[in-house]
Amino acid sequence: MQFEKINGLIDAPFTPFHENGDVNLEPIPRYAAMLKASGLKGVFINGSSGEGYMLTDDERRALTEAWIKAAPDDFKVIVHVGSCCARSSHQLARHAAECGAWGIGAMAPPFPKIGRVEELVKYIEEIASGAPMLPFYFYHIPAFNGAYLPMLDLLKAVEGRVPNFAGIKYTYESLYEYNQCRMYADGRFDMLHGQDETILPSLAMGGARGGIGGTTNYNGRELVAIIEAWDRGDINAAREHQNFAQEVINVICRYRGNIVGGKRIMKLIGLDLGPNRTPFRNITPQEESAMKAELEAINFFERCNKF
């Protein structure tokens, strides 16, 4: 099967919660409109940034329906359906297709740990068959699940076995392996860049036309600007935007990363998405003030996404 390749950046949104921990669907239309206005091409919901593994299946279905309903024109909704239970994932994939999602994806489960490519292929087969007409993306993020498997071998193994396997969201540090996968079979598979801090070097290697990011939630304008500068041949501007993106990432790394620190930044730019779920340790008011000061020091609020 041949699918459209993604051109541009897809956002991995946070899941909004009420203070009591219940899912809050109310901010999603405004959230979607802001992302579209910031140059993002769609969303990859219920993944790591969205605390997907802390959601019930019913909550994940409700979020899928809300995002699809709120999606602006020409805005892709890809649903992460990965779970420790492959049967649940299959059902979530089927639901996503019934609701009108553009695509689906799944990372390897954190338990049981997958240690062989063949095990991963069987997991993918069962999930992808739940939505056989939608593109399926494997979300390679081994730091979360310990699945440090060779992705080039995965591409070779799924070929001919998973007809709707579209490509990989590649969130790992090996630009060499990323590029080898990009070139495999004359570029047959869609290799989505998954690390916001290394967009520019991936562009320079000749690929990375599409990507899925987490800091795009609040820094999407700058990350989109990297690609725009590269396309017009302005390497100095591309470097400046990439270096600024790394400065922002340096800040959130001091506040428990994108899922915790990044989610609180959304409040600072005008969209309070509530707390993180257990067992994440939420940002304290003192940490929020300190993080805001660090962001102000690099002129973040003059350059961030706008509502």
Please identify every residue annotated as catalytic.
139, 169
Distance of CA 77 to the CA centre of its chain: 11
Angle at 73 (CA atoms; ends 52, 101), nearest 5 degrees:
35
Q: Which residue has the tokens 């801090």?
A: 197
CB atoms within 10 A of CB 290: 15
CA 70/CA 165 separation, integer angstroms:
26
Q: Which residue has the tokens 């956002």?
A: 11
The residues, any chain, with a CB within 8 Å of residue 41's CB and separated by 6 or more, are: 6, 7, 8, 9, 10, 74, 75, 76, 210
Would you list the DSSP string of 223-234? HHHHHHHHHTT-
The residues, any chain, with a CB within 8 Å of residue 96's CB and separated by 6 or more, are: 64, 79, 81, 104, 131, 134
Would you list the DSSP string of 230-249? HHTT-HHHHHHHHHHHHHHH
Q: Which residue has the tokens 């605390």?
A: 51
Comparing C-alpha atoms, which of 58, 40, 37 is closest to residue 224?
Answer: 40
CA 292/CA 306 separation, integer angstroms:
16
Q: Which residue has the tokens 């959130």?
A: 252
In this structure, what are the phi and psi dihedrals at residue 123, rounded to the nearest 5 degrees? Answer: -60, -50
| C-beta of residue 105 within 8 angstroms of C-beta of residue 78 | yes
